[in-house]
Amino acid sequence: MNVDCIVSLTTWKGRINNPDLPKVLYSIFSQKTKYKFKIVMTLSIIDFPNKEADLCEALKLFIEQKLIEIIWVNDNLRAFKKVCPIMDIYPDTPILTTDDDIILLKNAVETFMDVHQKYPDCILTELGHRLVDKDEICTGSFRLFPPHSLFKLPTDYFMKYFGGYEDDVYMAILAKMAGRKTLILKKGICFEIKSPSYNANALNRIYTKMPWVRCRQNLLLALKKQKIIEIQ
């Protein structure tokens, strides 16, 4: 199937049965756009050992109707698994990532893809902020990654140095290493609401977040030691 882009998301066992998940999926499926896209959801076998049998009925229906592709991974890279495996499988296709707790506006895909046509080498995000380095921009809930826009490090580095948290900070470092700029678009152009029903089971409330500044420093020190990079 030839597509112009991939819309990727993930979830976990604590939110798979949330009644708002079908609304999230429908907001992606019902996008009004001239671009052909495919919905991909990456799930961990650690969360769902019985694979499809452990999924909610709404998601099973999307799978049966071939409206969504499920990619199963053995390792649980948490939020980063909606980016890393997809880039390996679809290396030459722009990837738009979204969260499992936001309802997209109907023009979200088209808005980002239109900007992508003008700035094909830039990562796009609606929300974002700069980190320690001015060229490291932490992206928000909805973003577009052009092909080959993140430097490829061993898969286990995210868990090893960031403990599975702050994937946006980790990707900001990878983007700079790849020599890619990130454009922050106008606020309010991609998603309508952030579902309040997910708050109780949000990953950043379930797990203790590691200090991202220390994680960043440890990763950069390791990369310098290995002579992979020279950035500060």
Structural domains counted in the chain:
1
Classify residue 102: in a domain, yes or no.
yes
Rounded to 10°, the helix 167-177/212-225 angle is 30
Whole-prediction pTM value?
Answer: 0.90
At 207, the pLDDT band (50, 70, 90 cuts) reads very low
Distance CA 27, CA 155 (A): 30
Structural domain contains residue 215:
yes
CATH of the domain at 107: 3.90.550.10
In a domain, 231, yes or no: no
User: How far apart (Å, rounded) are the C-alpha atoms in residues 38 and 30?
Assistant: 12
Considering only CA atoms, which of 189, 200, 203 is closest in space to residue 20?
200
Range in 50-54, 113-117, 161-165, 198-202 the model is least confident about: 198-202
Please report whether residue 160 resides in a domain. yes
The answer to whether residue 95 is domain-embedded is yes
- Inside any domain, residue 230: no
For the cut 90, the answer to whether the pLDDT of residue 69 exceeds it is yes
CA angle 226, 228, 230 (to 5 degrees): 105
Average pLDDT score, the chain: 88
Angstrom distances, CA of residue 84 to CA of 132, 164, 174:
24, 13, 11
- Domain holding 117, by residue range, is 5-225
Does residue 80 lie within any of the structural domains? yes
Question: SS3 of 72, please?
Answer: strand
